[in-house]
Structure 1
Amino acid sequence: MENQQEEVSSKRKLGLFDGVMLVMGSMIGSGIFIVSADIMRNLGSGYWLVVVWLITGVMTVAAAISYGELSAMFPKAGGQYTYLKETFGKMMGFLYGWGLFAVIQTGTIAAVAVAFGKFTAYLIPALNDATPIFQSGSYKITWIQILAIGVILLLTYINTKGVEGGKLLQNLFTGSKIVALIGLILLGFFLIKDSFWSENMSFSWQAFNNLKTDSSGNFLKTGWESISGMAIMGGIAAAMVGSVFSSVAWENVTFVSGEIENPKKNVVRSMVLGTTAVMVLYLLVNFVYLNALGRDAIAFAANDRVAVAASEQIFGGTMGTYIIAILVMISTFGCVNGIVLAGSRVFQTMAKDGMFFKAAIANNKNGVPEKSLWMQGIWASVLCLSGQYGNLLDMISFVIVLFYMITVFGVIYLRFKKPDLERPYKTWLYPITPIVYLLIGAAFCGLLLIYKQQYTWPGLIIVLIGVPIYFLINKKATSNTN
């Protein structure tokens, strides 16, 4: 027993600060520098841009507070997979884990790594100008994709060398991007000579006032027209696809619960502190956009890179572009590291339950699941080559929120089903907090099902493919037992 306690304590290499850095680093990738353009196109008003980020912030923090109760009840590696398995059974846990490996975790790694490559091309234009390595019709493999794969494999390798290396890298890059974002926020108000804040706020609550399109799909400036409340809600849901995806991955800290000191307290503290800090930063960055740029400049920023457009106004043309390019490179590099570090622990836990490849079970001499890390890294690299990572991410915001909702509902379900279970931490303002999340999440998913079905069914189908795989795995397990 004494040896077991020593082994457990030796594994606990991540403190509260490390947990907060993992939450913030996993959340802040490339989204905050891009998605506000799409939000403005969807709703056409500074007020609605702020509202979308506020709703997303309330959702995110409410979910983190609710997850805290489950993290304290089940302080094991595997996080959300473990919560779903313990609450609703092995099949629900497997479907989440399958979706995580198939596209949620690996697709995020691929997309953020490619974003790193694209912004690197700002500093090294030859990357953009280079002839594709391979091209057949519209499909091509570019040097940007190869750079993205290089980043994934490098960070996977670093994380196979032990938690300490991954932790150091995470803290360094997360700290750097937080300082850089705070600097951008401050300078975005002090260095702007001509503020567009009043102009952007002059559109008040009038939604869609520049979003009518002609037969070719081009946006036309129009006066505000009478719009139904349901249409506005549909527009909000469509706009939230970007803000929601920019605000996920905070649950990655639950995946490494087995390596966090005092997990019953520090996991929930990490989630609540980290998500709150990130959502405040996101809101302030959007204030900078509204101060530095007019509505059309936000909505129609080149390649949606609204942060580049704002930085050019703050620092001047070329200098502004370089500053944002470096900031996004730091941000995405740290984001990929956090997601790589955390995800492999889920697949290892699944393997121990007979729900994933057996090879993923073993730790290497450095105490980390090396084979699980490489499986994750190789599949993420394949998704980089597929060229479909961007489409996949649009599809899975719906599925991510759906799994968040099921997990948050699990807090309420367990209160009724197993009231006597020890709860070292209880959800703040229960049952209001989980109900708030469930109501906003249900509205988001329901409206997407009505107005933006291309964002819903594909991701749902990817997850449902896991149903026959689950029964196949169980059948094999049963036959092996017999």
Structure 2
Amino acid sequence: MQESTSKKFKQSFSLLDATMIVAGSMIGSGIFIVSADMTRTVGSAGWLILLWILTGVLTLIAALSYGELSAMFPKAGGQYVYLKEAYNPLTGFLYGWSFFAVIQTGTIAAVGVAFSKFASYIFPSLGEANILADIGFVKISAAQITSILLIIFLTAINTMGVKEGKIIQTFFTLVKLAALFGLIIFGFMAASKTTWDTNWATGFSFGKMDGDMLVPYIGFAGIGAISGAMVGSLFSSDSWNNVTFIANEIKNPKRNIGLALFLGTLIVTLIYTATNLMYLAVMPLQGIANAENDRVGVDAAKLIFGSGGTAIIAVMLMVSTFGCNNGLILSGARVYYTMAKDGLFFKQVGKLNKNAVPARGLWIQCLWASVLCLSGRYGDLLNYIIFTVLIFYILTIIGIFILRKKRPDIPRSYKAFGYPVLPMLYVIAASIICISLLKYRPDYTWPGLGIVLLGIPIYYFVWKHKHVIEEAPEDDEALMKE
């Protein structure tokens, strides 16, 4: 393999492209599913909408805060770089390790399998029920194989260059935004005033649904219930930070990253809130809570479009998950690239191919995401990691305060909106959610924390064994020519 020093990352992403990375990475299948569990947990229309609004506000505050960091460090790797600069290399590595182990790869696997599940509505042979191999400790379904093939296909596309991945991302995100707007509009056109009035008669009653009964929470258990319910909405609103991973491939990054974060998260917040209002307009609250397999979107589409609703929503979800996975795959490899440049990942991952993309990072990500698809444990891993994702968001936003004192000399062309009040408000609110999850949802927290802490011995093993993983060159011009 012959190396070249003739190319760097290309600044190919416009503001529109960057905004589509934000929105496209956020919108997957969650908005069509998680409202069922949220409704069962909070028990009323008012609380369902309130939690989606609260999630949107927290996401917007975080995104606006990250704008300052992205302007300070417009480099590949995004959040990994921010944590390393604000704290130390170990903190950055723990994020990068968790990111590779499950945050990004687990999400890619889960979104890939979601694509297959909804494709099976149109092509039943692609479903999970179609077992292709049973090797004792694991059963391999057609859905898993389809998801792996999807991941491989999108990875291959993104190794061809930024242009190809960018076109797919922007096109599919625009299509799914248009489709979601269409679903919302047709939903309100098919709305039932009786259903709407009956749902809102529940007002802001708060309790756990038990059949037709609403069982109130006692004491602080209510905070735990809110935190648990928000796991779904927070997961559905996650991955907005993916645009920071491709910072030095964005035109005018000091301006456009912060603006893309704001526009993308605002668009998704408005769409998510409107979609849930539409659910309340066409489905009784019990119908939302007890949707078959929690697929609220499918049941809503049947009521809106009749017998063809299933096929319509299936196609929408295939488009949505396809575009979502492309954004995740495209951006994720840039984190491993930067870690390799710091000597904390395999050396060859810190090089670009002839198309100026980190191809080896893309393929390593593809391999591990495929393993997670086969394991069948991606769903559990994602439940474990949502707590950890919040911890890293909290640490990153606290990093803004640290860097203002530690590095006051760095130019800040964009400053965190509402500093210090809004960033601190996010830290407090997210911390309350994390503490509540620790107490009331230990199944979501301790395993995720364990995955992160496992990174500590791995970090010191890497640090002390430079002959295994060597430090890559300092400049961005070491490229491999394939």
Match of residue 257 from structure 1? 247
Matched with 2:148 is 149
The two structures, once aligned, show a CA RMSD in angstroms of: 1.7
Per the alignment, residue 401 of structure 2 pairs with: 412
Identity over aligned residues, as a percent?
50
Q: CA deviation at 1:225?
A: 5.1
Question: What TM-score, normalized by structure 2, do the two folds share?
Answer: 0.94
Q: Which residue of 1 aligns with 2:379?
A: 390
What is the alpha-carbon distance in structure 1 between the residues aligned to residue 247 and residue 128 of structure 2?
Answer: 44
Match of 2:124 in 1: 125
State the partner residue of 1:98: 97
The partner residue of 1:468 within 457, 466, 469 is 457
- Name the structure 2 match of 1:358: 347
1:68 aligns with 2:67: yes
Q: What are the equivalent positions in structure 2 for 1:74-473 lying under 5 Å apart?
A: 74-128=73-127, 131-136=130-135, 139-193=138-192, 195-208=194-207, 210-211=209-210, 220-222=211-213, 224=214, 226-316=216-306, 318-473=307-462
- Unaligned 5+ runs, structure 2: 1-5, 472-482
TM-superposed CA distance for 1:127, in Å, is 2.5
Q: Contact conserved, 2:128 with 2:143, CA < 8 A, in 1? A: no
**Contact 1:238 1:452 survives alignment (8 Å):** yes
Instruction: Assess if the C-alpha contact under 8 Å between 1:209 and 1:221 holds in 2.
Output: no
CA shift, 1:139, in A, is 3.3
Aligned to 1:215: none
Does the 8 Å CA contact 1:65/1:433 hold for their aligned counterparts? no
Specify whether residues 140 and 472 from structure 1 end up closer, same or farther in structure 2 by C-alpha distance, changes over 3 A only. same
Distance in 2 separating the partners of 1:288 and 1:321: 17
Question: Could you say if the C-alpha distance between residues 415 and 443 of structure 1 is closer, same or farther in structure 2, counting changes exceeding 3 Å?
Answer: same
How many angstroms does 1:344 deviate by?
0.3
Q: Distance in 1 between matches of 2:292 and 2:389?
A: 28
1:477 — aligned with what?
Answer: 466
Amino acid at match of 2:312: I
Partners of 1:288 and 1:193 lie apart in 2 by 10
TM-score by length of 1: 0.94
Aligned to 1:214: none
Checking the alignment, whether the CA contact within 8 Å between 2:23 and 2:268 is kept in structure 1 is yes
Give the deviation of 1:195 after TM superposition. 4.6
User: For 1:236, what is the secondary structure of its paired residue?
Assistant: helix
CA distance in structure 2 between the partners assigned to 1:34 and 1:178 by the alignment: 17
SS at match of 1:477: coil
**Post-superposition shift, 1:227?**
3.5
User: Superposition pairs for residues 29-40 of structure 1, below 5 Å?
Assistant: 29-40=28-39
Number of residue pairs the alignment of both structures matches: 465
Cα contact 1:347–1:360 (8 A) shared by 2: yes
Q: C-alpha displacement at 1:209, in angstroms?
A: 5.3
In the TM superposition, what is the alpha-carbon distance from 1:7 to its structure 2 partner? 6.0
C-alpha distance after superposition, 1:312-341 (max 9, x if no partner): 11111x311111100000000000000000
Q: Which amino acid aligns with 2:79?
A: Q
Mark the runs of 5 or more structure 1 residues left unpaired by the alignment: 1-5, 212-219
> Contact 2:128–2:142 (CA<8 Å) still a contact in 1?
no
Distance 2:14 2:239 in 1: 19
The answer to whether the Cα contact below 8 Å between 2:41 and 2:209 also exists between their aligned partners in 1 is: no
- Residue 129 and residue 159 in structure 1: after superposition, are their counterparts in 2 closer, same or farther (change >3 A)? closer
Instruction: Compute the displacement of 1:370 (Å).
Output: 0.6
Report the AA paired with residue 323 of structure 1.
I
Query: What amino acid maps onto 1:363 in structure 2?
Result: L
- Residues 130 and 458 of structure 1: is their aligned pair in 2 closer, same or farther, counting only changes over 3 Å? closer
For residues 134 and 439 of structure 1, do their structure 2 counterparts lie closer, same or farther at Cα, with a shift above 3 Å needed? same
Q: Distance in 2 between matches of 1:240 and 1:137?
A: 36
Residues 1:80 and 1:226: Cα distance change in structure 2 (over 3 Å) = closer
Aligned to 2:475: none
- Please report how far the alpha carbon of residue 471 of structure 1 lies from its aligned counterpart in structure 2 after TM superposition: 0.5
